[in-house]
A and B are shown apart, each in its own frame.
Chain A
Amino acid sequence: MMATTHSLTPSMQRRRRARQRRGALYLALLGIGLVAPFVAYPVFLMKVLCFALFACAFNLLLGYAGLLSFGHAAFLATGGYVTGFLLSSYPGLTPETGILAGTLAGVALGLVFGALAIRRQGIYFAMVTLALAQMMFFFFIQAPFTGGEDGLHGVPRGQLFGLVDLSSNLAMYYFVFAVFVIGFAIIQRTVHSPFGQVLKAIRENEPRAVSLGYNVDAYKLLAFVISAGLAGLAGSTKTVVFQLASLTDAHWHMSGEVILMTLLGGVGTLFGPLVGSGLVVSLQTQLAQSPLGNWVSVILGAIFVICVLSFRSGIVGEVQKLVRRNFK
């Protein structure tokens, strides 16, 4: 456990081993992701991946910056609507351009929300984000380009880079998978960057970070904007997959659902949101087809309560604890 004066070596070795293990895990998951559409229904998988990216983006904020946003639906929906509107109105536009525009819209909205909310702490921060997201919800109902209560239907999937026809679900799946991998890589790098270190310090002890000369609001704002942009990316991609942008994504239920996914999977762990969203989306899909269909919210609520009461670190968090206890 304890290192001696000259021994940064054992720690570096341990870190290197951890890095190698993580690399192996990533490779395995990459392999699973590549063969998955031949085992499971691609549309279901795409839904999981879109929500997983959304939850990962949310987790960057809650798990690594300690900021609980209760308005993340706004970014998902904004990405979705912008992409949906552009692809529907300008047939010449390729899907990746539409998605890029949706992501940038998420970034821009994140900048505005962040600038308004970041000075508040804890519950006040959550309330300000909720209020702003509700404003966006009512804006989307009224705005002419969103289709109001009906939403935008029949958004064309188009041809990726003008070359690959995305109307095939398999081609679409690999594109979504690539988007997820890129989003996940951005988060993983952000967490393990010089910026990530400062973010961690702020989460651990904000006054101390201030007394070390860091302008903590600026760091929180950047984390917020990255998170909002990735949530916008998730929403944009989802719109292309389902050819649909609707108010469901803008509703505060969606902000709650992403919290559920993240907590269930394990907040502050890189893979927790992926596991959590996989679980929640599977449950929703399975239950919707069963006689229990009307009870989906109740069952999810019960699972949430059990999770919060008995395994607070979430599934991945608990597994990590178990591994740490038994293999060290």
Chain B
Amino acid sequence: MTQEFVLETCGLTKEFRGFTAVDDVNLQVREGHIHALIGPNGAGKTTVFNLLTKFLPPTRGEILYRGRPITAMRANEIARLGLVRSFQISAVFAHMTALENVRVALQRRLGTSFHFWRSERSLEPLNERALALLAEVGLQDYADVLTVEMPYGRKRALEVATTLALEPTVMLLDEPTQGMGAEDVDRIVELIRRVSKGRTVLMVEHNLSVVSRLCDRITVLARGAVLAEGDYASVSQDPRVREAYMGSEAADAEEVSA
């Protein structure tokens, strides 16, 4: 087993009461790549994500991080290894300021997070780093704004800043551009490109133009199983992919024209 794969799965399977959501998936994510997981609705993309980050226990199969099995680890331990995920719905701490959102990610390193007798002023030395992270995603003007008052696109950027605070080696992004206007999409694409330097990114994405612009490698899932894998050009030419992925739309179009 070579070290070029930072994240691998072997025969990863998840069954929900007889329904197989993820079926024998062998995924290999190469160090430094931006790797996309695509597929039609219900293909099991988010389930794979939840399995990789241990938010769900797999029924069968193994997950390897740099060749080391991590299948038995817990979700928060995975995060400590450097595999940090985002969520489909923007996951921010709504009634905390943008600065506090990032700081809460930074503070774990201080080792004082169980200290209920210490003043929160002891966290102020982290402000500088938190502000720098906010500036990195273009949110320097929002430091003191309560997150609940921020526009949607900005919340997603904040999520990236919070993730970066953990200095992850692998970022797992679950539909980072979902529900965004074109302008925000461009901004997030640029952001992902920028922060992926020196990191590996695995993302679930519906927007194919985003995938074609960003990703080095693409895995197509359909009905829980891997249908195809390769770069955008080869995958998009694959007739099975066209059928599975575009099929429903093509069929719809035919129905409409008929």
Contact = CB atoms under 8 A, between A and B. Distances in A.
Interface stretch (A166-174, A194-202, A248-256): A194-202
Contacts of B144: 2-3, 8, 10-11
Interface string B209-240: 00000000000000000000000000000000
Interface in B139-164: 140-145, 162
B92 A194 contact: no
A190 B117 CA distance: 6
Interface stretch (B10-18, B39-47, B101-109, B246-254): B101-109
Task: Report the contact-size class of chain B (Cβ under 8 Å from the partner).
Answer: 35 or more
B137 to A, nearest CB: 14
B256 to A, nearest CB: 40
A215 interface: yes
Contact of A213 (B100, B108, B120): B108
A299 interface: no
Task: Provide the main secondary structure of the chain A interface.
Answer: helix
B127 interface: yes
Contacts, number: 122
Nearest to A199: B116
A5 interface: yes
A212 interface: yes
B79 A197 contact: no
A193 B120 contact: yes
A119 to B, nearest CB: 13
A200 B123 CA distance: 15
Interface string B86-121: 110001111110001001110110101111111110
B48 interface: no
B6 interface: no
Given A205-B92, A222-B116, A198 B104 contact: yes
A198 B127 contact: no
A189 B116 contact: yes
Contacts of B113: 194-195, 197-198, 214, 219
A213 B84 CA distance: 8
B189 interface: no
Nearest to A11: B144
Nearest to A213: B79
B107 A198 contact: yes
B84 A194 contact: no
B110 A194 contact: yes
Nearest to A218: B114
A216 interface: yes
Contact of B120 (A5, A196, A210, A214): A196
Nearest to B80: A213
Contacts of A209: 104
Contacts of B108: 212-214
Contact of A211 (B85, B119, B140, B142): B85
Interface centre among B75, B86, B104, B117, by most A CB within 10 Å? B104
A190 B91 contact: no
A208 interface: yes
21 contacts: A2-B145, A3-B141, A4-B141, A5-B135, A189-B119, A193-B118, A193-B120, A194-B113, A195-B114, A195-B116, A197-B103, A200-B96, A204-B94, A204-B96, A208-B87, A210-B55, A211-B76, A211-B91, A212-B108, A214-B108, A222-B116
Given A193-B119, A196-B120, A204-B92, 12 more contacts: A1-B145, A5-B141, A8-B143, A194-B118, A194-B122, A194-B123, A197-B103, A197-B123, A208-B91, A210-B75, A211-B91, A213-B84
